[in-house]
A and B are shown apart, each in its own frame.
Chain A
Amino acid sequence: MVEQFPIIIIIAPLFGAILIALLGFRFQSLCLPAVVGSLAISLAAAVGAFLKVLEQGTVLYNLSGWERVTTPRGLFSVSIEYRIDAISGLVLMVIAAVGLLNAIYSKVSVTTETPNKVPHYYILYLLLVAGLAGMTITNDAFNLYVLLEISSLTSYALIAIGSRRAVLASFNYVIMGTIGASFYLLGVGYLYIKTGTLNMTDIHSSLATIPKDSASIQVALILILIGLWIKMAFFPLHGWLPNAYAYSPTATGTLMGPLVTKVMIYIMIRMMLSVFGTEYVFDHLQWTNIVVGLSVVAIVAGSLFALSRSDLRKMLTYLIVAEVGYMVGGAWLANSMGMTGAIYHILSDAMMTFTLFMVIGIVITRTGETQLTAFQGLFRKMPITMVGFTIAALSMIGLPPTCGFFSKYYLVRGGIEAGQWAYVSALLFSSLINAVIFFRLIEMAYFHGGKAYGEEITDKDHEHHRSRGKDLDAEPDGTLEKVPCSMLAPMLIAAASLLAIGILNRPIAGWINAALETLNLAQGG
């Protein structure tokens, strides 16, 4: 049973989706339990697999049961293989946890926003999670493409299911996403021509026998990078992201915002470390300055865009663009501190943006406003939600003991070690902007509920309550907190995990470092 954990992570959501397809259309009440149940199994398997990795190192799982075949040149894999190390184990746990919590959180919103299409929605939702987890776990370059397309197709549909405006955003995403995936596929094709295999480990060992100045290998790396950058919305290529996430249904934005870009960054790191190898990417090519320069632009631009938006979800999507810059830059600093920071930031940023998306979702549904002003006086009315918000905001700014502080700490140290001062100052600049954005919101939420703004706000409140046919005038403070437990609990768990990931920074960084060392050793670097 223990050996089967890697595959259970992927097939649990798959079978959940099949179950809904077969029965969910007739018995709609079955949908949510199927989603929650299968994702819970998936999460349990991810935790189990991670514990096993801690115990015995990298776990390989071979599908279709073909063992590696021996040749004079060494072992090679003839079928598709799964590979879990500490890094992918952590990412897998985050994916399963976000999927599970978001499913509970969006219980209400799915039925209100897509009333006729609940089974459709949940099938696509489960397959999106399966696709993301499958990309993280696979050790086969082409299998990664197939799962990339599964997660893309599901996300196109999950976005387009939303409002009018979302449909156009989704179309742009289809075009950009297809270009990205096709570039990735071309890159894999070039690697295949040169190495004759698709297994990442085998590609890596074959590349060692190919002259380093080979033009096609270089172009393959460029193609794969550009493809993944489009998919992760790295700054000049980010055009599709803000509209797609901001106009999508709540549950879609809350799932995709934290996960999709982070998984793509993990795959970029995976390609750099275990396919091309650090020696080739960092020592031979010397592209560090270029890519880190691009990431500086991404950080600054993303932060400034975020500052200038007054729509809550739009602001958040631009913060994601800035954070992508953090991680790409960190990964390309060419030292293990920066790489540790980038991977750590994948975890913490996924949970941070997840918490923020949930908070903003709650605020938008309760106040009916989508602008920043929705936060006025909310501490009085929604104290619990605001606690979660404050933790997430502190983490985005990067204050201890939240995880945002520790990941930024590693990134900054990596930047100093590499002498990339522009990157370090961009990080600090962006933290400053985050501080401005979030302290403004916290201030609005905490103080503007007072007398000065009191009347205006109550007036507004009246309107909203009336428009929803409720009369909450007479009720005391804290009434807006009538958020269903199914929304509050996941949000609080996610907020607590921000503290947990922060407090556990030593073991997590240790695991990441150990995994990085085995990768470096395996590459003879």
Chain B
Amino acid sequence: MDFFYQTFIAKFNYWIYVILMMIGLFAMIAKNNLIKKLVGMCIFQTAIILFYVSIGVKQDARIPILTKDEVPHGGHYTTEHHDGHKDHKADQERPYIDAKTITNPIPHVLMLTAIVVGVSTLGVALAIAQKVHLHYGSLEEDEILAKIPLGNDG
């Protein structure tokens, strides 16, 4: 039971992402239809995004946005003198932030980038798939390869 808990329950996020990743990778390699390959690509990328976001989770933590008490709304409370030394307005007024109570922001930042990259790749790939269809009249890989004269490949 202990083994079961430690391998599956405590690490369920990794299991989910690995299974999704395997589905996506299989579709990318083995599927014959170009669009299905792209669907696989999406699943693969989503799996990675889930994986990263799950890294940043902390038990019982809140979202990485500070409250009004922690950062007074619109109040630029740090006055900086021109000699470079900073003057914090009454440090005791601001509550101490315990890092344990706030979700790790880094994976979110990274995945924002990865999502954008995923969208861009998908867009370009769809455009290429459309052009393949315009040229060869098909999206099935074997049918397309059959239309290419022999000896012209590889």
Contacts and interface: CB of A to CB of B under 8 A. Distances in A.
Q: Do chains A and B directly touch (beta carbons under 8 Å) in the complex?
A: yes
Interface of A: 142, 145-146, 149, 152-153, 156-157, 160, 164-165, 167-168, 170-171, 174-175, 178-179, 182, 185-186, 189, 192-193, 198, 242-243
A174 B114 contact: no
Given A153-B120, A165-B152, A179 B128 contact: no
B113 interface: yes
B110 A142 contact: yes
Contacts of B108: none
Given A174-B125, A178-B41, A185-B48, A192 B117 contact: no
A480 B153 CA distance: 30
B51 A186 contact: yes
Contact of B41 (A160, A175, A189): A175
Interface residues of B, number: 33
21 contacts: A142-B113, A146-B113, A149-B120, A156-B124, A157-B124, A160-B128, A165-B148, A167-B132, A168-B132, A168-B136, A171-B34, A171-B125, A175-B37, A175-B125, A178-B45, A179-B25, A179-B28, A189-B48, A189-B52, A193-B55, A243-B154
A167 B44 CA distance: 23
B21 to A, nearest CB: 8
A160 B34 CA distance: 15
B154 A182 contact: no
B44 A182 contact: yes
A171 B129 contact: yes
A178 B44 contact: yes
B83 to A, nearest CB: 18
Contacts of B114: 145, 185
B120 to A, nearest CB: 6
Interface string B85-125: 00000000000000000000011001001100100110011
B18 to A, nearest CB: 10
Q: Is the interface of A mostly helix, strand, loop or mixed?
A: helix
B16 interface: no
B62 interface: no
Contacts of B110: 142, 198
Interface of B: 25, 28, 34, 37, 41, 44-45, 48, 51-52, 55, 106-107, 110, 113-114, 117, 120-121, 124-125, 127-129, 131-132, 135-136, 144, 148, 152-154
B132 A171 contact: yes
Nearest to A177: B121
B124 A146 contact: no
A242 B131 contact: no
B128 A192 contact: no
